[in-house]
Structure 1
Amino acid sequence: MNAEKRHQIFSRLRDQNPNPTTELAYKTPFELLIAVILSAQATDVGVNKATAKLYPIANTPEAILALGLEGLKSYIKTIGLFNSKAENVIKTCRILIEEHNGEVPQTREALEKLPGVGRKTANVVLNTAFGQPTMAVDTHIYRVSNRTRIAPGKTVLEVENKLMRFVPKEFLQDAHHWLILHGRYVCTARKPRCGACIIEDLCEFKDKTEYGD
């Protein structure tokens, strides 16, 4: 795929959704960090339901530590893998207090040292909470990047590196949100809605469908 075509793709995605953001509900960097940790192998809707009850009671590292492990579990037990996630959240809160004055760090290195935080989670926090141009490649972005040929790669890291290189700078800040939403609602895994896609004519996917709304 050439640079001109990529520019057109992101221009259209921006025109359709000028101010994209995560579908996770949050008000502070800490709330976002915890929500992203909880969202692994879970839906944003499910996480939001749990945090809607948790955050009014505890939305700081100190308050969550005060709940204790079992107390935290009672709020997030509807989320998959809640036992291990609760342990990671408690450990993360302790590290934030002991090493970062209770604040969420703004570097990938520091974020990835937190339990339950991998490269993708760090990228989400850096981009969404702190406005850094990062690319959090999840299954949706991986699929869309390969299917459209915007940034084909055999690994998540390869796709991430290509996107960082190929996405025009003016679109880099919001690109990962556009790609996630496109993969979640249009370029779906089993039955892509090619007939309803605003970039269908630019996409290089060979097996396009007639499926629309």
Structure 2
Amino acid sequence: MNAAKRREIFRRFHEDNPNPTTELAYSSPFELLIAVILSAQATDVGVNKATAKLFPVANTPEAILALGLDGLCEYIKTIGLYPSKAKNVIETCRLLIERHQGQVPEDREALEALPGVGRKTANVVLNTVFRQYAMAVDTHIFRVSNRTRIAPGRNVLEVERKLVKFVPRQYLLDAHHWLILHGRYVCKARKPLCGSCRIEDLCEYKHKTSDD
């Protein structure tokens, strides 16, 4: 795929959705961090249902620590892998207080030092909250990047690096959200909705489908 095609793809994404954002519900950097930790192998809808009950009661590191492990589990037990996620959240809260005065750090190394926070989670927080040029590659973005040939790669890191290199700079801050939404609702895993796709004429997928 050439640079002109990529530019037009993201121009259309921007035209259709000028201010994209995550579908996770949050009102502070800390809330987003916790929501992203909880969202691993879970849906945003499922996480939002749990945090809608949790955050009004506890939305700071101190408040979640006060709940304790068992108390936190009661709020997030509908989310997959909740026992291990609860342990990570509790430990993350403790470290945020000990190392960062209860604030979410703005650099990758400090974020990735927190339990349950890998490169993807750190990128989501850095990009969404702190508006840094970071590209979080989840299963949707990995699929869309390879299928369309926007940024083909054998693994998540390769796709991330290619996206950062190939996405026009003016669109890079929001590209993460556009690609996730495109993969979630249009370029679906089992059967992409090519006939309804805004970028069908630019996409280089060889096995395009109809919407029948």
TM-score by length of 2: 0.99
> What's the counterpart of residue 114 of structure 2?
114
Take 2:196 and 2:56, find their aligned partners in 1: how far apart are those partners? 39
The residue aligned with 1:157 is: 157
Residue pairs, 1:59-208, within 5 angstroms: 59-208=59-208
Q: Displacement, 1:133?
A: 1.4
Match of 2:47 in 1: 47
Q: Which amino acid aligns with 2:4?
A: E
CA distance in 2 between counterparts of 1:137 and 1:100 reads: 26
SS class of match (2:56): coil
- DSSP-derived class of the 2:80 partner: coil
Q: Which runs of 5+ in 2 are unaligned?
A: none
Code of the residue aligned with 1:96 in structure 2: it is: L
Q: Which runs of 4+ in 1 moved over 2 A?
A: none
Query: Residue 35 of structure 1 corresponds to which residue in structure 2?
Result: 35
Alignment of 1:15-30 (within 5 A): 15-30=15-30
TM-aligned CA deviation for residue 198 of structure 1: 0.4
Per the TM alignment, residue 130 of structure 1 is displaced from its structure 2 partner at its CA by 0.7
Question: Deviation string for 1:139-186 (max 9, x for gaps)?
Answer: 000000000000000010000000000000000000010000000000
* Aligned residue identity for 1:157: L
Secondary structure at the counterpart of residue 106 of structure 2: coil
Which residue in 2 is equivalent to 1:211? Answer: 211
Letter in 1 for 2:104: V
Find the aligned partners of 1:77 and 1:155 in 2 and give their Cα distance: 31
Take 2:58 and 2:133, find their aligned partners in 1: how far apart are those partners?
30
Deviation for aligned residue 1:121: 0.1
CA distance in 2, matches of 1:78, 1:189: 25
Cross-structure match for 2:14: 14
Secondary structure of 1:78's aligned partner:
coil
- Once the two structures are superposed, residues 53-72 of structure 1 have per-residue CA deviations (whole angstroms, 9 ceiling, x without a partner) of 00000000000000000000
Name the SS for the 2:159 alignment partner.
helix
Residues of 2 paired with 1:168 and 1:175: CA distance? 9
The secondary structure found in structure 1 opposite 2:150 is: coil
Identity of aligned residues (%): 77
The alpha carbon displacement at 1:104 in A equals 0.2
The code of the aligned residue for 1:131 comes to R
Q: Which runs of 5+ in 1 are unaligned?
A: none
Q: Which amino acid aligns with 2:158?
A: E
